[in-house]
Amino acid sequence: MAAQERENLVAELEKTLSKVKLLTGFLPICASCKKIRDDKGYWNQIESYIRDHSEAEFSHGICPECANKLYPELSKFKKRS
C-alpha cells in the first residue's frame, strides 16, 4: 500500500512540475519600447514573450500618469496647479 501511495505522489509531482514554467536569467529589453530580444535575436512585445515563456496572462489598463499624458482632456487624474 505504501508503494502505491508513493507512486501516486510521484505521478502527481511529475504532473505538477510539467506545468511549471519559470523565467530565469538575463532578458535583453529595449530601454525605449520595452520589447524583449529572444534567443534567436528577434524583438518581441514584452506581453508576448512573457505569455510564451510562462503561465502569466495580461490584462491591460492605464496608469494615472499615462492617462494624464495621453488623454489630458479626459483624465480624471489631473494635476492640481
Each residue of 27-79: pLDDT tens digit?
Answer: 899 999 999 998 899 999 999 988 888 888 888 899 999 989 999 888 665 65
Type of residue found at 20? V
Nearest to 63 by CA among 81, 45, 74, 77: 77
* Residue 80, pLDDT above cutoff 60: no
Residue 46 lies in a domain: yes
Residue 36 lies in a domain: yes
Q: Which residues contact 29 (CB under 8 A, 6 or more apart)?
A: 35, 36, 37, 46
Q: What is the pLDDT of residues 9-27, one digit of tens each?
A: 999 888 887 776 677 788 8
Residue 76 lies in a domain: no
Residue 54 lies in a domain: yes
Residue 77 lies in a domain: no
Domain boundaries, position 61: 2-70
Separation between Cα atoms, residue 81 and residue 76, nearest integer Å: 14
**Does the model's pTM come out above 0.85?**
no
Looking at the structure of the chain, the number of domains it has is: 1
Residue 47 lies in a domain: yes
* Residue 81, pLDDT above cutoff 60: no
